[in-house]
A and B are shown apart, each in its own frame.
Chain A
Amino acid sequence: MSDPARSASRAAPLLQMSGICKRFGSQRVLRDVDFDLRAGEVHVLAGENGAGKSTLMRILGGALAADGGTIEIEGGPVRFRRPRDAAHHRIAIIHQELSLVASMSVADNLLLGREPGRLGWMDRAASAARARRVLERVGLRLDPHGPAGALPISAQQLVEIAKALALDARIIVMDEPTSALSEPEARRLFERIADLRSQGCGIIYITHRLEEIYALADRITVLRDGKLVATRRAADLPAGELVRLMVGRSIGDQAPRRAPAAGDVILNVRRCTVRGAASGRRPVAEGISLSVRRGEILGLVGLEDSGVSKTLWAIFGALGSRADVEMEIDGRRRHVASPRQAIEAGLALVTNDRRKSGLVLGMDVVENATLAALPRFSRRGWLDRRAELERTALSANELNLRCASLRQSVATLSGGNQQKVVLARWMMAGPRILLLDDPTRGVDVGAKHEIYFLMNEWSRQGCGIILTSSEWPELLQVSDRIMVMHRGRVAASFRGGQATPADLLRAAMGHATNE
């Protein structure tokens, strides 16, 4: 707090947004919101999905025009008509969905639109040198000529930040940057954020994770239903109070505990092996054996590239000939060669990327919800549209799905509600074994609670559940057993409640410790 740069900046905030209003049609999504950012601070913007965080940031980024209010940068009023205007004022926004051009090289991505050279001829040496310089600032040492799409997501994230630095950005907005990162990767990102802060950048950070908020924030602003609820120093806002401000009601444990259950083994997987995408690559998963009992939640943990997700896909038959799996369901051998057969065998897979592999965004809530159980809603191929609607309405109530209409396109729903549609789909399919790949990713606190509630319900009904999560404390809380994977192999297993996140991390990083 005695840092001179920081106390000096207190006089003239880097950014001052005052009285920002925005309405879409008759709905007021931002009402008179004030927000300021000082040089050298991390200001966390918190709130449930739909609170207006993204809208406020889109206004700051010039993608949306405010209906009222002013924006000042270092005391001078500015007006943004398009994203370029914001970039001109050294504002960079790093979106949750990364925006790198996968087929282009890292250097080309970094300098896109500002390539060094003259008369349209690119100076490859100069651009590589410049790319290396900015990459070093985010702690990345890699070949700038390699394709960006080949990098792991964590590296792509850092490249995005490097891109902001290449723009000389002073105001950097990060929208849930860790949603695709594992714990140590996230920690590395935090170190970079600390660097940026000490270089005098102001950082606006949006996240749903409490640990991150307190690891990073100097100040916290809470939005709810488009209104400013509070802006406070992080030290003055304890976690319980923050959650209460966000949801407007107090909420118990995020991940509810339940009585451990132990029925018969429902799923037994032996020697699951997934070959690499190209020949010569190391296998993504090798000789994974696991079993799940009725009513049991098995946590599966691993860092990026550990093969956790691919193992779930392989069990679900979604990798075709890339995977070899031997499995027994209810003690009988089953051959599952496609998702279709998997569903018939009573399996369900919720993937960790609902926009890419979960929802059909052009279809409405009902059509998405019934997709996996469509044969049940049709007789001789004819759809029973009324039954579809009624069954979906039932699930929507159970899951507390918030939408204006069940005939609304799922693209217009918030992240948490989209995830509930995915879960409704699998509820209808009536599975006995659930493979849930990070089901609470990018959803707000309320929806998270409901998702865990649904998982408990499933386990009470005797389903076996394999769960992965990027939030290990939650996973530790709900799992009966936890298996840790490291580079495609099982590294350790723990009983629920007996491990700490540090134990998991050690195992996931390859330090063998069992039980």
Chain B
Amino acid sequence: MSDARTDSDTSIAEPRRAAGSTLSAFLASPVATALLALCFVLALGLLFSGDGAFHKWATHRDALRQASVYGILACGMTFVIITAGIDLSVGSVLALVAVMFSTLSIHEAWPPWLAVPACLALGGACGAASGLVVAKWRIQPFIVTLAMMVFARGLAKTISGGMKVSTAMQLPDGSWTAAPVPGIFRLIDSRLLGDNVSFVSLVFLACIALSWVILSRLRWGRYLYAIGGNEEAARLSGVPVAAMKIMAYALAGLFAAVAGLCQAAQEQQGDPEAGVGYELTAIAIVVIGGTSLMGGRGGIGLTLLGTLTIGYLDKILSVNAVPEASRLMLTGVIIIAAVLLQRRKN
């Protein structure tokens, strides 16, 4: 009889989960929903394959490559959003780092083992600065990172003199010459495994792996979830709330710096106007994946699925030669549809 079960189970609020099988529990989870959204987009790709382009591996390789920079930004964004914050500055930090990296590598001829850490430190410092203001002075993250967004953009323009930092160099006599593309740029922009995988895609996957370790296997990650879920309870349990928040924003800045390195290498220049609006794409990816903007819920696996969804959507629309105007409108509709799908179970 069912009496025995009732005795051992006192949950009234949501007994479905308690009583349901493992399969139905999985189907109700955000991962299943995010997978569903991705499958839907992939099915669209099979249906409208752009004269068979979708059946070629090169298309997938490029889709992944193009999504990688956004995906890397989204990794950092995931940390911040899990703490119930937001970081609007990642697009500007990307541009700042791209400019810095190009200046150091091309003009100052810094070796990569110096230039790369310097750029990562710059990005991390921008994030940590935002985090410090958010955590210590308790100003809303939206405002703080909006300020950092403007500031970093300005700094990028200051360093670059408002111009793209490229391999084109003016000699003292006024004539122009092209400096060689730095080796590190060529490495980042290369393809591996017989031309089948882009280097930046591997960087993206490494970022996902690192983020997964932090969020799921380290104490820090647990603290981030606790802060996003209930900051007061976390504080009273001895969680170092301020330090953890600073870390989350610093990680967002660090990942923005990684994205900036990739961007600079792919474009072979540092454009101070790069990355405008990228923060919004990164937020869209996190949200489509199913990580809650309210904080405390979600994860990096969801961000991976969100990245693939957005990346493939964009690729499918472009191989089918859908004009950009329609692409933007469609993307907007799909973001809402995906979020509605996620909310169904919550």
Which residues of A come within 8 Å of B, CB atoms? 24-29, 49-50, 52, 54-55, 225-226, 316, 318, 339-340, 342-344, 349, 351, 356-363, 367, 371-372, 374-375, 378, 381-383, 402-405, 408-409, 411-414, 416-417, 425, 429
| Chain A residue at minimal CB-CB distance from B297 | A362
Contact B239–A356 (Cβ < 8 Å) = no
Contact B238–A343 (Cβ < 8 Å) = yes
Mark interface residues in B1-26 (1 if CB within 8 Å of A CB, else 0): 01101111111111111111000000
Contact of A362 among B223, B229, B239 (CB under 8 A): B229
10 contacts between A and B (CB under 8 A): A24-B14, A25-B19, A26-B5, A339-B236, A362-B296, A371-B237, A381-B219, A382-B217, A404-B11, A404-B19
Complex: how many Å from CA A186 to CA B20? 41
B234 located at the interface, meaning its Cβ lies under 8 Å from any Cβ of chain A in the complex = yes
Contact of B236 among A316, A381, A405, A414 (CB under 8 A): A316
Please give, as numbers and ranges, the residues of chain B lying within 8 Å of A425 by CB-CB distance.
Answer: 237
Least CB distance, A65 to chain B, in whole angstroms: 15
B233 located at the interface, meaning its Cβ lies under 8 Å from any Cβ of chain A in the complex = yes
Please give, as numbers and ranges, the residues of chain B lying within 8 Å of A378 by CB-CB distance.
Answer: 218-219
Least CB distance, B17 to chain A, in whole angstroms: 6
Contact B11–A382 (Cβ < 8 Å) = no
Contact A356–B232 (Cβ < 8 Å) = yes
Contact B236–A50 (Cβ < 8 Å) = no
Least CB distance, B236 to chain A, in whole angstroms: 5
Complex: how many Å from CA A323 to CA B297? 34
Please give, as numbers and ranges, the residues of chain A lying within 8 Å of B136 by CB-CB distance.
Answer: none
Q: What size tier do the contact residues of chain B reach? A: 35 or more
B226 located at the interface, meaning its Cβ lies under 8 Å from any Cβ of chain A in the complex = yes
Please give, as numbers and ranges, the residues of chain A lying within 8 Å of B233 by CB-CB distance.
Answer: 356-360, 371
Please give, as numbers and ranges, the residues of chain A lying within 8 Å of B219 by CB-CB distance.
Answer: 374-375, 378, 381-383
Contact A403–B11 (Cβ < 8 Å) = yes
Contact of A318 among B2, B16, B235 (CB under 8 A): B235
Complex: how many Å from CA A240 to CA B289? 54
Least CB distance, B20 to chain A, in whole angstroms: 6
Given A24-B19, A362-B296: A383 in contact with B222 (beta carbons within 8 A): yes
Contact of B12 among A55, A374, A382, A405 (CB under 8 A): A55
Please give, as numbers and ranges, the residues of chain B lying within 8 Å of A349 by CB-CB distance.
Answer: 236
Q: Which 10 A-B residue pairs are closest in the complex by CB-CB distance?
A: A404-B18, A360-B229, A50-B10, A25-B19, A24-B15, A372-B237, A362-B296, A343-B238, A362-B229, A340-B238
Least CB distance, A241 to chain B, in whole angstroms: 22
Contact A408–B18 (Cβ < 8 Å) = yes
Contact of B18 among A375, A405, A429 (CB under 8 A): A405
Complex: how many Å from CA A321 to CA B243? 19
Least CB distance, B272 to chain A, in whole angstroms: 37
Known: A28-B6, A383-B218, A411-B14. 5 other contacts (CB 8 A): A24-B15, A27-B6, A50-B11, A367-B222, A414-B10
Please give, as numbers and ranges, the residues of chain B lying within 8 Å of A49 by CB-CB distance.
Answer: 10
Least CB distance, B9 to chain A, in whole angstroms: 5
Complex: how many Å from CA A117 to CA B324? 50
| Chain A residue at minimal CB-CB distance from B225 | A363
Least CB distance, B95 to chain A, in whole angstroms: 32
Given A381-B219, A383-B217, A408-B17: A413 in contact with B10 (beta carbons within 8 A): yes
Complex: how many Å from CA A358 to CA B296? 15
Least CB distance, B224 to chain A, in whole angstroms: 11
Least CB distance, B2 to chain A, in whole angstroms: 6
Contact B19–A27 (Cβ < 8 Å) = yes
Contact B230–A225 (Cβ < 8 Å) = no
Complex: how many Å from CA A408 to CA B14? 10
| Chain A residue at minimal CB-CB distance from B298 | A362
Complex: how many Å from CA A39 to CA B10? 33
Please give, as numbers and ranges, the residues of chain B lying within 8 Å of A342 by CB-CB distance.
Answer: 238
B220 located at the interface, meaning its Cβ lies under 8 Å from any Cβ of chain A in the complex = yes
B117 located at the interface, meaning its Cβ lies under 8 Å from any Cβ of chain A in the complex = no
| Chain B residue at minimal CB-CB distance from A316 | B236
Given A340-B240, A367-B222: A413 in contact with B234 (beta carbons within 8 A): no
Complex: how many Å from CA A356 to CA B311? 39
Contact A361–B236 (Cβ < 8 Å) = no
Contact A412–B236 (Cβ < 8 Å) = no
| Chain B residue at minimal CB-CB distance from A378 | B219
Complex: how many Å from CA A55 to CA B234? 31
| Chain A residue at minimal CB-CB distance from B228 | A362
Least CB distance, B211 to chain A, in whole angstroms: 15
Please give, as numbers and ranges, the residues of chain A lying within 8 Å of B18 by CB-CB distance.
Answer: 25, 27, 403-405, 408, 412
Which of B6, B8, B234, B239 has most A Cβ within 10 Å?
B6
Least CB distance, B156 to chain A, in whole angstroms: 34
| Chain B residue at minimal CB-CB distance from A404 | B18
Please give, as numbers and ranges, the residues of chain B lying within 8 Å of A417 by CB-CB distance.
Answer: 10
Please give, as numbers and ranges, the residues of chain A lying within 8 Å of B230 by CB-CB distance.
Answer: 356-357, 359-362
| Chain B residue at minimal CB-CB distance from A340 | B238
Complex: how many Å from CA A387 to CA B17? 25
Please give, as numbers and ranges, the residues of chain B lying within 8 Å of A411 by CB-CB distance.
Answer: 13-14
Please give, as numbers and ranges, the residues of chain B lying within 8 Å of A429 by CB-CB distance.
Answer: 238
Complex: how many Å from CA A318 to CA B5? 41
Please give, as numbers and ranges, the residues of chain A lying within 8 Å of B297 by CB-CB distance.
Answer: 362
Contact of B238 among A55, A226, A360, A372 (CB under 8 A): A372
Contact A27–B239 (Cβ < 8 Å) = no
Given A360-B225, A363-B296: A28 in contact with B237 (beta carbons within 8 A): no
Complex: how many Å from CA A161 to CA B331? 48
Complex: how many Å from CA A414 to CA B11? 6
Complex: how many Å from CA A402 to CA B222? 24
| Chain A residue at minimal CB-CB distance from B10 | A50
Please give, as numbers and ranges, the residues of chain A lying within 8 Å of B217 by CB-CB distance.
Answer: 382-383
